[in-house]
Structure formats: structure tokens, C-alpha cells
């Protein structure tokens, strides 16, 4: 639809020509002043700002702010021809967003502003899929350049921060991110789903003393922003979870995320084509107040061999590159972050990975104890207090190495409480013989 401004421009052009022919001496001063204002309004050149998605390797704050801010300008009654709509089966409301190519109008004081989301696909280079260039353009009258740069854009950033704060005050949905290899390989986008894992510290079959110690450490960490700044230390914390499969390492990570309300970024290094540069981009693309999980870090125990293997046709990260991600200069690009490493074989890890500053807290994930079993029995069978089979089960647990996952599986095999426990006894006795 043609705007009124565009429709009136030809008419103003005619009047301008008439004014030139008549000369200023025949035109009253008041009319000349009014006409000057009209001409400036209709013929002030447009000025356009380009707002890229990234600044070097870092996210452009203005781009991130605009993405969130413009959602508040989209409504079902807007004049946009297209909007992006999505909803998962776990979401209560529709999510709407701006579409590439659509113009979103905004008004700030007496300024008319036109936002547009643009995408340019770059050519493929050396069979590598490049991520499309995505950016906003912001167009407005040239005379308001100073107002937009000094007042409007700071306002957009402020509104973005207010919206973020409002969302945090609500029950935020925790996201689980993983790398999307379909766009750019190891350097591709993070794809996310809602983390619906029900694990909490109350439900974990974990040594009670160890559990209390971990919770206290997490509480200290999130409260020490000023202390970390004062001593010149990056505000991050590293945890190593080690033990055999089935001892609850993944459940513990979910419990930490639920406890702190942090998103999880799951990074699988085994078998990937990560270079040191990929690892740096990965770290920089994670948000503050998040948990970066590197599972099965023992699969990278041959890191130094990879570094020396110049004949390999695959790109591999180096040990020094990984260490820089953990506690080098690159680790300072963000605040309030937790890095969690898991391994089934702690003895296979390079000692350089294990020192404080990289893996600050080492948490052994052990076989099931009687305390852990009682918690599982309470969760799965609603048993509170004692049971006649508990002493027999306790004696077996002292002599049998069994994981919480194995116990849980046995407790699920019958809906009858006594049958479940008798089945567990049989399972433990059989396991003791092997």
C-alpha cells in the first residue's frame, strides 16, 4: 500500500517549482517557513543502519536486542503479510516471530522507523556449507540519525533487558542445546528443545553428604560475582563427574540445571570434526548462566596423538586448544558459566585437564549404596520407613557392585511392592554369583 507521504511527493515537487519561478520576494515569510518544513519532511533523505548478527566472533548485542524487541511489535492484527508461528506439544501458547523480508514499523517519539530482517546465502567454499548472512536494516529520516543512535537504540537495548528480566521472573523453560550439523558442520547453529528432565537433588540416588557439599558449592558460586571480579578470576566453575555407566551422571547434570535454572549446551567431541577454531566459536556462542557439558571426555584422551598426526585428513582439536577453552583467555568471554565433564575412566585423562581452574570439583559417581537404594525405593515404590527385606538387601549391596540405573530397572518390573523387592533380591543374588 502506497503511503500518504509517497502520494504527496509529486504535488510538493510541483509547488517547489512554482516557488522557484515566483521568487522569494513574492512569497510571505510565514508561508516560506511553513513550506521549508514541509519540504524537509517529504524530501529528507533516508538513512539506513546495518545491524549484523555477529561482531567478529561475538554476538551483536543490538541484533539480539532487536530480535526480542520486535516480537513485541508483532500482533495478530498487524499489517504484516507473513509471520513465523510455532508451537510444540509442550508449549501452552503460540510463538510468533518476524520473517525474513518483512518490514516491521516502529515509532519512537516523532520518528518513523522501518526494521527489516534480511538473509543472504553465501557461495559454498570447498564443499563446506556456509551459514547464511543474517542482518537487520533500520531505515529512518537522515535528520534523526543522532536521535536514533544516542536515544532509540539504547532504548531498544533497555527494553530487551526488561523483557529478559520479566521472562526470568516467570517459570523459565530450561533449554537443552546441541550442535546442528546440518548448517555449517561443527561450527553450525545450536538446535534446542525444552528440557523436561524431572531430576532434582531430592530425587537423586546420591551420597547425602556429597549431595549437600555440591549444593553448597553451587550456592557459593552463583553468589560470588563481585568476589570473582575483585580477585581477577573468570566467573566460571568446572566439575568432573566420573564413574561407571548408569551411576547417574546425566541425571545429576539435569538436577544442577533445574536447581540453578541454567540452560544446557551439550557438546559431543567424540568422532567430530572439531578444530580449535570450532571450539572457540562454540564457547562464544553459548549464553551466560549456562552449563556447557562435554560428555565422555575420556574419548578425547588421545588428543596429543591427534595433534601430532599430520597425515590425518580430518580436522581435530588439540589438547592446548581444549585447555584454552577451559581456562585460557577465551574462557573469559562470558559470565556465570559452568563446565561439566563426564568420564567413565578418570585414569585415562591427561593430568593437565584435572587441575583446579579447569576441573575445580571432582565428583565420584559411585555404585548404589543403601542410602541411595532407600531413596529409589521411596521414589519408585512410595516406601517410607523400613521394610522386612531391607536388611537382606543391605547385606547384598555391601558385596555387589550395582548401579542406581540397574536398581531402578528392577523396581519397575512389578506394580506390587513386595514382588518388586523380592525380584531385586533375586537379581542381587544372581549378580553376586557372577
Q: How confident is the model at residue 106 (pLDDT cuts 50, 70, 90)?
A: very high
DSSP H or E run through 139: strand 133-141
Question: Which phi-psi region, left, alpha or beta, contains residue 59 (left: φ > 0; alpha: ψ -120 to 50)?
Answer: beta
The answer to whether 125 touches 100, Cβ cutoff 8 Å, is: no
Question: Which phi-psi region, left, alpha or beta, contains residue 184 (left: φ > 0; alpha: ψ -120 to 50)?
Answer: left
- DSSP annotation of 45 reads P
What is the per-residue pLDDT for 77?
A: 46
Q: Cell 500518504 sits at which residue? A: 4
d(CA 155, CA 61): 13
Pairing relationship of beta strands 133-141 and 236-242 according to DSSP bridges: unpaired
DSSP H or E run through 84: strand 84-86
d(CA 180, CA 183): 6
CATH T-level assignment (fold) for domain 176-364: Rossmann fold (3.40.50)
d(CA 429, CA 79): 71
- DSSP annotation of 142 reads G
Count CB neighbours of 400 within 10 A.
19
**pLDDT surpassing 70 at residue 274:** no
**pLDDT surpassing 90 at residue 185:** no
Q: How confident is the model at residue 27 (pLDDT cuts 50, 70, 90)?
A: low
Q: Please give the sequence-ordered ranges of beta strands (E in DSSP) within 283-384, or none if there are none.
A: 290-294, 337-343, 361-364
Q: How confident is the model at residue 125 (pLDDT cuts 50, 70, 90)?
A: low
**pLDDT surpassing 60 at residue 26:** no
Q: Cell 517557513 sits at which residue? A: 33
The residue-averaged pLDDT of 220-225 equals 92
Lookup: cell for 111: 520518528
**pLDDT surpassing 70 at residue 49:** yes
What is the per-residue pLDDT for 151?
A: 95
Q: How many alpha carbons fall within 13 Å on the CB side of residue 71?
A: 15
What is the per-residue pLDDT for 168?
A: 66
Please tell me the chain's helix, strand, coil percentages from 3-state DSSP, rounded to the nearest 5: 45, 20, 35
Sequence-distant (6+) residues with CB within 8 A of 138 are 48, 49, 51, 66, 113, 114, 115, 148
Residues in the chain, total: 434
The residue-averaged pLDDT of 206-210 equals 91
DSSP, collapsed to helix, strand or coil, labels residue 70 as helix
DSSP, collapsed to helix, strand or coil, labels residue 43 as helix
Q: How confident is the model at residue 255 (pLDDT cuts 50, 70, 90)?
A: very high
**pLDDT surpassing 70 at residue 71:** yes
| Annotated domain spans of the chain | 1-43, 52-169, 176-364, 370-433
d(CA 54, CA 372): 47
Lookup: cell for 130: 556456509
- Give the tens place of pLDDT for each residue, 148-158: 999 999 999 99
The mean pLDDT value of the chain amounts to 80
Q: Cell 520518528 sits at which residue? A: 111
**pLDDT surpassing 90 at residue 332:** no
Percent of the chain with pLDDT over 90: 41
Sequence-distant (6+) residues with CB within 8 A of 409 are none
Count CB neighbours of 55 within 10 A.
11
- Give the tens place of pLDDT for each residue, 223-248: 998 998 898 888 889 999 999 999 99
Lookup: cell for 127: 564443499
Residue of higher predicted confidence among 81 and 389: 389
Whether the predicted model's global pTM rises above the 0.85 cut: no
**pLDDT surpassing 50 at residue 306:** no
- Give the tens place of pLDDT for each residue, 311-328: 444 456 666 777 777 776
Using CA atoms, how far residue 129 sits from 53, 124, 245, 283, 384, in Å, is: 18, 6, 36, 21, 57
d(CA 80, CA 69): 16
Residue of higher predicted confidence among 12 and 255: 255
The CA radius of gyration of the chain, in Å to the nearest whole number, is 30
370-381 and 390-397 are packed helices; what angle lies between their axes, rounded to 10 degrees?
130
Task: For residue 407, give the nearest of 359, 362, 373, 363 by alpha carbon.
Answer: 373
Question: Out of 19-33, 62-76, 362-376, 403-417, which region has the weakest mean confidence (pLDDT)?
Answer: 19-33
**pLDDT surpassing 80 at residue 301:** no
Amino acid at each position: 500500500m502506497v503511503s500518504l507521504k509517497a502520494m504527496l511527493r509529486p504535488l510538493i515537487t510541483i509547488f517547489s517549482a512554482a516557488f522557484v519561478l515566483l521568487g522569494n520576494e513574492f512569497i510571505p515569510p510565514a508561508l516560506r517557513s511553513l513550506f521549508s518544513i514541509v519540504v524537509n519532511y517529504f524530501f529528507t533523505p533516508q538513512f539506513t543502519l546495518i545491524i549484523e548478527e555477529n561482531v567478529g566472533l561475538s554476538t551483536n548485542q543490538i541484533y539480539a536486542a532487536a530480535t526480542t524487541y520486535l516480537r513485541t511489535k508483532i500482533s495478530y492484527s498487524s499489517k504484516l503479510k507473513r509471520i513465523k508461528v510455532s508451537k510444540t506439544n509442550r508449549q501452552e501458547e503460540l510463538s510468533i516471530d518476524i520473517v525474513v523480508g518483512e518490514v516491521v514499523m516502529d515509532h519512537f517519539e516523532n520518528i518513523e522507523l522501518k526494521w527489516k530482517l534480511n538473509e543472504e546465502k553465501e557461495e559454498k567454499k570447498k564443499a563446506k556449507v556456509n551459514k547464511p548472512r543474517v542482518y537487520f536494516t533500520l531505515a529512518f529520516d537522515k535528520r534523526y540519525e543522532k536521535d536514533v543512535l544516542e536515544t532509540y537504540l539504547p532504548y531498544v537495548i533497555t527494553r530487551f533487558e526488561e523483557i529478559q528480566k520479566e521472562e526470568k521472573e516467570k517459570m523459565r523453560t530450561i533449554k537443552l542445546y546441541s550442535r546442528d550439523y546440518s548448517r555449517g558442520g561443527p561450527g553450525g547453529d545450536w538446535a534446542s528443545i525444552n528440557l523436561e528432565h524431572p531430576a532434582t537433588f531430592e530425587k537423586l540416588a546420591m551420597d547425602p553428604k556429597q549431595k549437600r557439599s555440591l549444593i553448597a558449592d553451587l550456592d557459593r558460586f552463583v553468589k560470588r560475582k563481585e568476589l570473582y571480579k575483585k580477585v581477577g578470576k573468570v566467573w566460571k566453575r568446572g566439575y568432573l563427574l566420573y564413574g561407571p555407566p548408569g551411576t547417574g551422571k546425566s541425571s545429576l547434570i539435569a538436577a544442577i540445571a533445574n536447581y540453578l535454572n541454567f540452560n544446557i549446551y551439550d557438546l559431543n567431541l567424540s568422532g567430530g570434526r572439531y578444530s580449535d577454531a570450532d571450539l572457540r566459536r562454540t564457547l562464544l556462542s553459548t549464553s551466560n548462566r549456562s552449563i556447557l557439558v562435554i560428555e565422555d571426555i575420556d574419548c578425547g584422551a588421545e588428543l596429543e596423538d591427534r595433534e601430532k598426526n599430520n597425515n590425518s585428513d580430518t580436522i581435530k582439536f588439540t589438547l592446548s586448544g581444549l585447555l584454552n577453552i577451559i581456562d585460557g583467555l577465551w574462557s573469559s568471554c562470558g559470565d556465570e558459566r559452568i563446565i561439566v565433564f563426564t568420564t567413565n575412566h578418570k585414569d585415562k585423562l591427561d593430568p593437565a585437564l584435572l587441575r583446579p581452574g579447569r576441573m575445580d570439583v571432582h565428583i565420584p559417581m559411585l555404585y548404589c549404596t543403601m542410602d541411595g537404594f532407600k531413596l529409589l525405593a521411596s521414589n519408585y515404590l512410595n516406601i517410607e520407613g523400613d521394610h522386612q527385606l531391607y536388611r537382606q538387601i543391605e547385606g547384598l549391596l555391601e558385596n555387589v557392585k550395582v548401579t542406581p540405573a540397574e536398581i531402578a530397572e528392577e523396581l519397575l518390573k512389578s506394580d506390587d511392592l513386595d514382588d518388586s523387592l523380592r525380584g531385586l533380591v533375586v537379581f542381587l543374588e544372581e549378580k553376586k554369583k557372577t
